[in-house]
Amino acid sequence: MATSSANDLHLVPLGAGDLIDRAVRLYRRHLFTLMRIAAPPVVVTAIGWVLWTISTRGVGNTPDTAMLALYVLLIFTAVGLIIAGHIFSLLVMGGASRNLVTHLLWNEPVLARTTYAAVRSRFWSLLGATLIVVLWLGLAAMVGLTGGYIIVMIVSLGVIFLAQWMPVWLTVFFAVIGGIVATAVGLWLFFFLAGKMAYVPQVMLVEGKAVFESVGRSFSLARGNVRRLMAMTFFITFATYSALMVLVIPLGWYGYLNGIDPTPWNAAQWPAWYAIGYSVIEPLSSILLAPVWMLGMSLLYVDERVRHEGYDIELMASQKLGAMPQLNVSSPFAPAISVAPNRLPLRPGSSGNILGLS
């Protein structure tokens, strides 16, 4: 039976660099398992992109009405598969949170079947929560864009007004500074709002709360997480595009050696095999990087509880003092992990005492 101690866990507040470093180290340790967890949704998305590439290329090239109708049907199917694949990916990320938190606390093995069992146990709740989170992220993006746009307009009016008395280089300097400030404000507004929903899947799967309770709980935990969430997002975005380039460059060179112009603005002239290969590269690269996001969000959730609720002290108390009494008390400082009987079963040989984990 796997065991862990408070010393082994190192449950201490994490800065942005520590968060990324620990996520990467856990990723290296469980690389192939995490890739298996991330693969099914990515395969669905990749199939959707293949159908999209085939159907969009065929629509403009077929004179047959029946084939045209078939290609249109394939376009709708492709869009459905792409959307379903991305939603499925978000569900899997939520389901992975419970397995990853148990690993952080008990050094339990990270297993694909455990993750998908967690998804099945709360599928409809996770689906509803995912849709709410997606809508909230859309709202956050609108607010961020609006905030940045307002700054741009103010700076533009100021630069136009002052351009009569300033040299050109100084005008350009103020315009660039204004653009940087507008970008920073827009990003801060987006991540400030997006961070409020960052822990909904973790709360649902780890603490066993319902959808709207999880939303409220996520709002209460998300205090001061903007910089760490931004750092995690930028790191994963940079890593994703780096992985994408690692896959795109060999394909581009191979196509170039076979007489294909690999530049995206000549995509209409690409042969079908090259277009299909290009369309599935982005989903395939997400197999490599989606696990880092799963790990990062689980670590960030644990870190928030350490910072705001003494998660580390609760763990040590549970290990030293034995089982926490099962009191029918509603409190924000309840056991960190759900003990509801309709949730996932106890690990073999466990009494479920440490943090009430079930």
Q: What angle do CA 40, 118, 116 make, to 5 degrees?
A: 20
Three-class DSSP category at 66? helix
Question: Does this model's pTM top 0.85?
Answer: no
Which burial class, exposed, middle or buried, applies to 198 when counting CB atoms under 10 A from its CB (0-12, 13-18, 19+)? buried
339 vs 273, higher pLDDT: 273
The per-residue pLDDT for range 246-276, each reduced to its tens digit, is: 778 888 888 888 888 888 777 777 888 888 8
- The mean pLDDT value for 8-36 works out to 76
- The mean pLDDT value for 91-118 works out to 81
- The mean pLDDT value for 161-185 works out to 83
The per-residue pLDDT for range 119-137, each reduced to its tens digit, is: 888 888 888 888 898 899 9
Q: Among 314, 126, 321, which residue's Cα sits nearest to residue 214?
A: 126
Q: Among 194, 195, 198, 187, which residue's Cα sits nearest to residue 140?
A: 194
240 vs 119, higher pLDDT: 119
Q: What pLDDT sits at residue 333?
A: 45
Distances (CA, A) of 347 to 2, 60, 132, 355: 10, 56, 31, 13
- Contact by Cβ (8 Å): 302, 18: no
Q: Tell me how far apart the 2 most distant CA atoms of the chain are, in Å.
A: 79
Q: What pLDDT sits at residue 325?
A: 56
Q: What angle do CA 101, 114, 25 make, to 5 degrees?
A: 45
- Look at residue 358 and tell me whether its pLDDT is greater than 60: no
Q: What pLDDT sits at residue 352?
A: 36
- The mean pLDDT value for 277-298 works out to 80
